[in-house]
Structures are given as C-alpha cells and as structure tokens.
Structure 1
Amino acid sequence: MTHYFRSLPSRRKKFFPSLLLISLLFLLSQFSASNAGTGVRKAVTPQKQSPLLSPLGYAKGTAPIALAAKSGRTLIPGVVVVRMQKDSRLGKAAFPLQSPGLAAVAAQYNISAMRPLFPNIPDSRPARFHGLKEMYTLHFSEHIDPIEVAMALDGVPEVLYAEPKYAYPLLAVPDDSLYSQMQQFQAISAELAWDIARGENGDVVIAIVDGGTDWQHEDLNANIWNNADEVPDNGVDDDNNGYVDDVRGWNFARRNNDPSGLSGQPVNGGHGTHTAGTAGAVTNNKLGVASISWNATIMPINASAGQQDRAIQYGFEGIVYAAENGADIINCSWGSPGIPSSFEQDIIDFAYAKGSLIVAAAGNDNANNDLTGFFPASYNHVLSVGSTNNADRKSSFSNYGISIDVFAPGSSILSTYWSPSDSSRKYAFNSGTSMASPLVAGLAALVKTKNPDMTVDQLREQIRTTSDPIDALNSRYADSLGAGRVNALKALTESGPSVRIVGTRFIDGGANGIINAGENIEVTVLFTNYLSPVSDVSVELRAFDGVADISVKQATISQINSGDTTAATFSFL
C-alpha cells in the first residue's frame, strides 16, 4: 500500500505567499522497518508544529491579535497576560509597572495590578521551564477593551508578547438516546487490550482539566488521585506547591481544594464528571460503567469560569498544575476555533517538557481544522481527537482535517455523571469530541502502563500509527480523518516506524523571500522517526494543481533510527 500526505501552509509571519497556491504532496513507499511486528507500512504525515503555528504564533506588533474576538472563545474582561523578554529586569523588579514602557501604558489604561501568573514555579527549574516565571497578568477596569490594552502592551520593548485571556466552550453534544450501552469498547478492540495491560497495574495519572468532577461519585472515588505529600485539612501547603490542602486536585474557579463542579454550573460539573468516567471510572466493580484505562488514577481539576456555565476559564493554569503535580496524561475536552496564542503554546510546551501528553478534543462544528485551526487541539505536542460512531462513521458533528491526529468513538457514550438538581442521576449518555478525547487519554494510560519509559512523542505516535484507517467508510472525508480510528489492541501489541515532517525550509533563487515566475525554489524537508528504525525510505514531491514544475522530485533516505532527524531536498520552478 502506498501512503500519501499533503503539506499544509504555515502560519509563520515570514513565508512565501505564492506557495499558498501550490499543493505539495509527498509520497512514501518501499521501506522496511526493523522490529516492525506486522510489517505494515505507516504513512508519513506532517506534524502540527509548522502547518498550524510558528513558535510564538505571530510577530509582535501585528494585527492578528484582534482577530481572536471573532472566534468561539470568550474574552475575559479586565485582564491581559504578558510574557516579558527573557533578559528583561522587569521579571525580577519589585515594582515592574514603574518601568518607563509599562508605566505609560499603565497610566493610559489605569492598570491597577501586575501579578505573576505562576509564582510557585521554582527558580531551580531547568531553563526550558523559565518562560512561566516571565508571565504576568495585568488587571484593569472591565469596561476597557482587553484587545486594545494587549496591543498597546505589545509595543513595549520589554514585552515579548501581550494577549487577552480567554474562556473556552465545552465540547459535549447532549444526546438522550439510551438504546445502546458501551459499544465503544468493541469498536476499538478494548476487551482484547485489557488482557495485555490494565491501568490498575501501573501508576499512570490522567488529569481531567474540565468543569469540575464529582470525585465522590460511587464509580470514581476509588480511582481519584491522592496527593501523598499533602496532609489533609491542616490548612498548610505541606508540599510547597502553592496550593493548600490539595489532596485530590484543585478548583481554580473557587480557589480551593474541592475540584467538584459548582452548584450553579450543572453543565460544567456534569461534563467534567462524564469525561473523568470515560477515562478512568472504576472498572470490574460490579457497579455502573467501565473505563478504557481499567482503573488508572484520575486527577480532577476544576478549570471552569467562576460565574459562567459551559465555559473553561482556567484551562491553561490547570494544565500547569497537572504537569507540575505529576500527571502523565492531561485531557482537555474543550476548545475553540481561532488564531493561535503564544501564551497558550508556551503552556503546552511546558507540560510537554515535563513529560505530560496533552490529549484534546478537535471540535464539534463539522469544520475543517486545516483551514482555521482549533485550539488547544491544534497546538504543537497535542494529540488531537475527532469523533466517530461505533460503526466507524465520522460523527456528524465532528471536525475533520489532516491536522487531526486520530479519531475515536464519541457518539452516545455512557459514563458517570453529576447533576446538582438530581442526585439520583449518576450516569448519562453524551456525545461530542469531548467524549472521544478522554477515551484516547485512557488508551494512552494503557500504553504508558505497558511501556512506562515511553516519551511523550513515542506515546503519541504509538497511538497514532496503530490506528485503523476509516477513509473507505467515509469517502466524503477521505484523507481528512487523521491516521484513523484508534485500536487499543494494536496500540499495545504492534510496533513500527513513525516518520513525520517536523520542519521545512525554502530558498528562492533570488534569495529575497519572493517567488518569481521561472525562479528555482529549493525545498528542504526535515523528517523525524519517533519509533522503530526504518530503512530504504523513498520520498516523492508532487504538485496537484500544475502550478509548479518539479525538477528534483524524489529522494531516498537509507536509514532513520528511532529519535533521528534527517533531511531531504527537492526543487521546483
């Protein structure tokens, strides 16, 4: 079988505009993999880093920041987030607002306070974590436009970037159909996978960053995370992580140690309890539902908005908490289309560097994520998840696109539930990519239990490359369903290579960044293999629309070992 993949246009500030008119296609064939259990060849696909987001999203002083208001996210009034330049003394100044640049903006917009966003990150952390120490929130009247304040701050030399802060919508689609029970497990071969690995046999922790989790639920309580370094209810931050008595997680909406849902936010709390059950409900206890992870540990984090149901306001603070406190997997069943955020990508990078795999829902708009991006699912280092029904058809609501990594059952999923108005309602059916995402997060816990030394990249790629193609059942969405629908059994038993595009470089004949008619363009593509070694890789560059005349279109890579990166160069006119 021959596998194709398309390269996607980059969102970097500097690019060749006319390249947007050219669809580039790479063809990979005729390779053999050392120790590749089944000998099945895997597709080489572009990783999300270049197609969807440059390292800092967009350049300082540019207008895209204003476009964020048009997305599904909600601006949080009265606050913006800034990251100071790494070498700026402002990050250590006792009164940073007294610096000339910030003082002028502060006076103009009556900024009342500048607070460290993550004051509890130790200074002893490795250099790659220090970006969080340079992040601040600036506070002002809720009647002032945050976008206007952010754009003013973006012009201050000491500021690396300034952005509004957002609340994200949840991604569940209520479904009252009760005709089926938990058929998603048969769809992904979970029963056979449980004969090989179960979460209860390891120490993998799945963080549920959501709208609150009923951690005392009869089918969740036994699997809830316990912070062994914290003494319960003594009013002391025993582990010095900045959170007092956080024995079972944290509630950012109420700033306390009860991660349950809020009584005035039934959708948030029900949603968070449902996703927690899908990932880690107590299994084999003759009660309620089962979970894909078979008793992995669940770390509940309430990241909801304090006064708004159906919204996540502290999602990225929740990600930092989860990563800092040892979560191996972090599930995010929320998000929105829009433009990328430098602040949010920095948080994702922090969690990735800490060894946490972030799994995120790809969205419920039946939209193409390649065209607009959907965040946080579209950020670098995130395993993005679309939804299918149990017959491998794309769910009618699910987003699609090459940039989505995998799909999983997310239609009519039965799981644990919480309702402040009906204490007897312990279980419910819900549909959405919100339900597909924790299923994949739970599968990641199974794979991590069996392979505890896997890196974040290896864990993500093992799940992706062992997925079953479903294009034949979804011809309308062919080539837009990621690697396919996840297969739990294959994820635990098969091995093979995972070669992905991690970067591209373009050099035009005039070396001025402008492509002119008849000018030779050299394209260097960087490939990284994350899993088993692979040899004799043949790569071909094709143009679909006939605009480009490709003069050097083929390259052969003799060997790519696990973890290695290599380059292949092509040229066209």
Structure 2
Amino acid sequence: MIGTLKLYALVGMSILPFFGGAQSKKTNPPNWYNLDYQADGVRGISTEKAYELLQGRKSTPVIVGVLDGGVDYNHEDLKDVMWKNPKEIAGNGKDDDNNGYSDDVYGWNFLGNANGENVHYDNLEVTRLIRIYEPKYISVLPSTALSEAERREFVAYQKMVNDYTSKSDQANFGNLNYGRLKEEMDVMIKKIGKDPKDITKADIDGYSPNSERQKIAIRMAKRELDNTPFLEFYKDLEEGAAYFHAQAEYHLNKSYDPRSIVGDHYDDATEHFYGNADIKGPDADHGTHVAGIIGAKRDNGIGINGVANNVKIMGVRIVPDGDERDKDVANGIRYAVDNGAKVLNMSFGKGYAYNKKAVDEAVKYAEDHDVLLIHAAGNDSKDNDIVKNYPMKYYTDSLDAIVGEATNWITVGATSSGLDDGLLASFSNFGYKSVDVFAPGVKINSTMPESTYKEQDGTSMASPVVAGLAALIRSYYPTLTAKEVKDIILKSVTKVDEKVKIQVDGASKKVYLDEISVTGGIVNAKKAIEEADKYVQGKK
C-alpha cells in the first residue's frame, strides 16, 4: 500500500503525531540525500563525490522500472529521462512490437482496461482475504471439526479479523473526526475571507469561535502555527481527512471491490495481458516522486538532481490507493524484465499475501534475467524479522516456510539527516536479517505531477535512492551482474557507530544499526564506486 506519512490522529479532543512524518523541524539542503557527511554535515550518500570520481568516464543508459502508482511522464524534470519503447507507435491502438501490450510507449498500467478506465482505490489485502474467508469461518466454533489445513486457515482468519477490526475502528474514528475538523476549518477560512496561503497566526488569534468545535480547531491551529505556515497545516489536515476517508470508504470496506474495472480473470495468475497504456493514472503523486529521486535530469537547472545521470524511467502502474494485488506485482515485474529494465524499484508493501507463489516466481524470473530488485522496508516502525512485510526476498513453500532467498533483492530502511539518536526515521521498519541497508528517507524533495515538487517521507523515498545508486553502478560498470551490484552496495555502506532509537512493544529502545539490519550502515555512492573499481580490477 502507498500511504501518507504526514498525518495526525485525533486522540480525545487533541491532535497528536500519528505516523513518523514530522521527523524534525530541521531544514535540510534540498539535495541533502546526495550530499556528503564529511563535506556537508548531513548523512547523505555522497552522490556528488561519486561523480567526481567518475568524471571523464563513459556510461551507458540503464532502464529502471518504477513499479508504483503512476508516473507523470510529462514532468519538466522527467520527460527527458523517460523510457520510450522504440518499436511502439503511440496512439495507433496496435501492438506494434508484438509484446502483448498495445501502445506501451512509456510502460504499462495493470490497473485499467482497454477502454481507458482505471482503478483508483482498492481494498487492503486483509479486507480482500476476509471477504474470501468470512463465509467459510464466521460461524466456526472451537468444537467444529476442521482438517489440519482448514485449522491453519481458521487461525489465520482469526488474526485477520482482529487486525481488520483494529484498523476499521481507527479509520472510522479518524474519518468522522477529521471530516468534522476540516468542515470547521473551512468555515473559519471562509469567514476570515483570505486564501489559505495568506492566513497568518494573527488571523487565527483574532478569530471569534461560535462553537465548541471551532474552539478546538483554533487551539489545534495555534499550536501548529508556532512552527508551521497555515497553508502547510491546512494541507496536512486535508491530507489526513482524505486518508481516513479512503480507509473507511474503500480500503476497509468489504462491500467495495473495483476489480471488475480491470476485467481480467483475477484468480488466473498466468494471465499476463490486461490493462492499458496509461502509466500516469488517476493519482501519480507517489510514483512521480519516486521516479525523480532515481533519475530526475541532473544539472539542467530545473528542479532537483536524481541519483543516476544516465537512466531511462519505465513506468509500470501496479499500485492503487490501497494494497497492490500479487497478480499485478508479478506481472509488473515480468513486464519490466521483458522490456529491458535492469533495476526495479518497488516502494510498496503490505502485511498479507494472497498469491505469494506468483510473486516468488516473478522474482525468480527477474533473477534468471539478471535484474536487481530494490524494495522499501515499510513504514510501521516494526521488526520485519517478526512482522511480515510482503513482497519479500524470501521464497516460501505452501506452509509459509522459507525455502530460499533471492540473490537479486535489496530491502531498504529509512534514515534522516540527523547526527544523533534520531538518525533512524521514526517510522522505518527494520530487521537484523530482513532489512539489508538504510538510505535517506526523511524530508526528501522530489518531483510531483504537473511539474511541481514536494518533500515527502518514507521508506518509499529511501528505496529509490538505492535504486538510483544501483542504476548508477550498472550504467558505468555494465559488465557487473545484478548480484555483484548488490554485493558492492552492501559492502560499501557507511557504518554508523552511534546508537539509534527504535520502538519495541510501545517503548523506545536504543540499538546499533548492525543490530537491526544486515549491513549496519547507510548506502554510500562514493564508496560504492571505489568498491566497483576494485571489483572490476579483480575480475581481470
């Protein structure tokens, strides 16, 4: 699921931080994630230092598949780095290159149909699974006779119900209270008579509330306006209201199922040819932001500098507002691989799987075709060694036992620019075995639809930093395999000796990064180039 981090939850009659979005009020350079700790004082990945080492060397273009919710391919800072299918003629309604996908000029959208209709919202996977299992198990008693397989399924169903109930309660509470709060704020804005961008703290101080709800709204606004402009505060409120509305109306609504829009045979995971060529879709915020981090055109005097300087971004739309479906994930991987991508970024994840086998087979397909997969660890402040986050680098059998590990997979947690125990992003998942590395994922400025820019937080932002680094290495060292590039990235991290804060069972705990990840470090582009040089020399 692609979800917002910059939210607040109503607790009683006050608003408190909900997720880890507002990590800090610290202002960073817009390009901080590409900067160097020694030279610039922020824990970036030393991209600019890497390019100093690469000066004068030649590179070859690398196609990077952005498996996400949509990419604005006309963005001013992306249009020159978008992949274009050389054998496809745009808009003629034909499959010119005979790859099974008509008019796939910039990529493919597995969340739509041939008539141009697209899925915007979808359920969480837990909602979809409950919809399947509820008719079978809702009336089961402890004394009901069940087979061993049914008993396992029933136990899993019970856990799902508990999780679903908790999420539903929170969503309904947030939807009700956020909706009311935004209504009151809209009334206040109208009476003040100014555009939200022009409203000041003095306007709020001088406003006379006419209801208890407005008093609450004013108290909340005053507290936030000590550090935040009103427009930013109002946009956060809008975002929170929209988030909880989507949760209640779509994500957790068992009566809502939009799959008929796609019109595929959903349970047939071997079906590959469905969707349309609209890679932007109805909501391209997240995918556009991710794409910019990877490869927004460098040194063009516009917007931002992506990590990689010679990439082609392929848009593969597989993630709705809600949880992605395993069939679409598997097909998205296969499409990108078949059309030349050598690095895939996957900034999505969920707590349940419907058809993990299909995804595992697609990951193996990518492995067999020398394609490197970069995946976000998740934003729940959880230990992925304990709480599963799908998809994952582990192959499993029908009993969910681990039977292997992908050699072409990197899982990425998120860090901030901080030099203290707040270095680990408060929202970031972690895992001694399951999370490989960390990368910047807080206050990351990148591209947004309609040629705009915005700071966002998440492991969704950290993953494309690593995907950009992987593309950079593959671009300058085209003979290296996916596994070799992975090994170079993991071997060249910047180790962090200071302890960082994590949440365990509701309590804060300080640990070293090597206690909560495979490498114990943050990716470093300069060191990776140095390591790649040694690697190539060693192969001669």
- Equivalence for 1:401: 431
- Equivalence for 2:278: 258
Between the aligned partners of 2:456 and 2:360, the Cα distance in structure 1 is: 29
Between the aligned partners of 1:477 and 1:355, the Cα distance in structure 2 is: 35
- Equivalence for 1:288: 303
Between the aligned partners of 1:172 and 1:448, the Cα distance in structure 2 is: 31
Q: Structure 1: which 4+ aligned runs deviate by more than 6 Å?
A: 530-533
- Equivalence for 2:371: 356
Between the aligned partners of 2:335 and 2:54, the Cα distance in structure 1 is: 28
Task: State the Cα distance separating 1:337 from its structure 2 match.
Answer: 3.1
Between the aligned partners of 1:395 and 1:384, the Cα distance in structure 2 is: 15
Between the aligned partners of 2:4 and 2:537, the Cα distance in structure 1 is: 37
Query: 1:359-395 CA deviation, whole Å, 9 max, x = no partner?
Result: 0000111111112332224433221000000136111
- Equivalence for 2:524: 487
- Equivalence for 1:342: 357
Aligned residues of 2:293 and 2:468 also touching (Cα < 8 A): yes
Between the aligned partners of 1:197 and 1:376, the Cα distance in structure 2 is: 34
Task: State the Cα distance separating 1:171 from its structure 2 match.
Answer: 5.3
Unmatched 5+ residue regions in structure 2?
Answer: 7-20, 36-43, 113-274, 395-404, 502-509
Instruction: Write out aligned runs for 1:280-319 (5 A).
Output: 280-305=295-320, 309-313=321-325, 314-319=328-333
Structure 1 residues 378 and 367, CA gap change in structure 2 (3 angstroms): farther
Between the aligned partners of 2:84 and 2:92, the Cα distance in structure 1 is: 15
Between the aligned partners of 1:253 and 1:495, the Cα distance in structure 2 is: 38
Would you say 1:184 and 2:204 are equivalent positions? Answer: no
Instruction: Write out aligned runs for 1:77-226 (5 A).
Output: 169-170=1-2, 172-174=4-6, 175=21, 179-180=27-28, 181-186=30-35, 187-197=44-54, 201-226=59-84
Q: Which has the higher mean CA deviation after the structures are superposed, 275-284 or 383-392?
A: 383-392
3-state DSSP class of the match of 1:170?
Answer: coil
Which amino acid in the other structure matches residue 366 of structure 1?
S
Task: State the Cα distance separating 1:434 from its structure 2 match.
Answer: 0.1
Which amino acid in the other structure matches residue 5 of structure 2?
V
3-state DSSP class of the match of 1:464?
Answer: helix
Structure 1 residues 296 and 417, CA gap change in structure 2 (3 angstroms): same
Would you say 1:474 and 2:526 are equivalent positions? Answer: no
Which amino acid in the other structure matches residue 491 of structure 1?
A
Between the aligned partners of 2:97 and 2:358, the Cα distance in structure 1 is: 27
Task: State the Cα distance separating 1:353 from its structure 2 match.
Answer: 0.9
Task: State the Cα distance separating 1:487 from its structure 2 match.
Answer: 0.5
Unmatched 5+ residue regions in structure 1?
Answer: 1-168, 498-529, 534-561, 563-573
Between the aligned partners of 2:288 and 2:392, the Cα distance in structure 1 is: 21
Task: State the Cα distance separating 1:235 from its structure 2 match.
Answer: 2.0
Task: State the Cα distance separating 1:316 from its structure 2 match.
Answer: 2.2
Q: Which has the higher mean CA deviation after the structures are superposed, 385-394 or 487-496?
A: 487-496
Query: 1:107-139 CA deviation, whole Å, 9 max, x = no partner?
Result: xxxxxxxxxxxxxxxxxxxxxxxxxxxxxxxxx
Give TM-score scaled by structure 1 length.
Answer: 0.53
- Tell me which of 386, 411, 415 is aligned to 1:384: 411
Between the aligned partners of 2:281 and 2:391, the Cα distance in structure 1 is: 22
- Equivalence for 2:342: 328
Instruction: Write out aligned runs for 1:270-285 (5 A).
Output: 270-285=285-300
Task: State the Cα distance separating 1:496 from its structure 2 match.
Answer: 9.8
Aligned residues of 2:428 and 2:458 also touching (Cα < 8 A): yes
Aligned residues of 2:64 and 2:471 also touching (Cα < 8 A): yes
Aligned residues of 2:308 and 2:468 also touching (Cα < 8 A): yes
Between the aligned partners of 1:399 and 1:184, the Cα distance in structure 2 is: 19
- Equivalence for 2:441: 410
- Equivalence for 1:72: none
Structure with the bigger percentage of strand: 1
Between the aligned partners of 2:358 and 2:307, the Cα distance in structure 1 is: 32
Paired residues in the alignment total 321
3-state DSSP class of the match of 1:390?
Answer: coil
Would you say 1:433 and 2:459 are equivalent positions? Answer: yes
Aligned residues of 1:338 and 1:372 also touching (Cα < 8 A): no
Structure 1 residues 210 and 252, CA gap change in structure 2 (3 angstroms): same
Between the aligned partners of 2:457 and 2:76, the Cα distance in structure 1 is: 22
Between the aligned partners of 2:60 and 2:359, the Cα distance in structure 1 is: 31
Aligned residues of 2:106 and 2:315 also touching (Cα < 8 A): yes
3-state DSSP class of the match of 1:336?
Answer: coil
Structure with the bigger percentage of helix: 2
- Equivalence for 2:176: none
Task: State the Cα distance separating 1:258 from its structure 2 match.
Answer: 2.0
Query: 1:208-251 CA deviation, whole Å, 9 max, x = no partner?
Result: 00000001111110100011121222222111110011111111
- Equivalence for 1:245: 103
Structure 1 residues 496 and 465, CA gap change in structure 2 (3 angstroms): farther
Structure 1 residues 178 and 295, CA gap change in structure 2 (3 angstroms): farther
Aligned residues of 1:377 and 1:383 also touching (Cα < 8 A): no
Between the aligned partners of 2:50 and 2:446, the Cα distance in structure 1 is: 20
Task: State the Cα distance separating 1:310 from its structure 2 match.
Answer: 3.9
Aligned residues of 2:323 and 2:350 also touching (Cα < 8 A): no
Structure 1 residues 178 and 252, CA gap change in structure 2 (3 angstroms): farther
3-state DSSP class of the match of 2:461?
Answer: helix
Aligned residues of 1:251 and 1:303 also touching (Cα < 8 A): yes
Task: State the Cα distance separating 1:454 from its structure 2 match.
Answer: 1.0
3-state DSSP class of the match of 2:386?
Answer: helix
Between the aligned partners of 1:353 and 1:378, the Cα distance in structure 2 is: 15
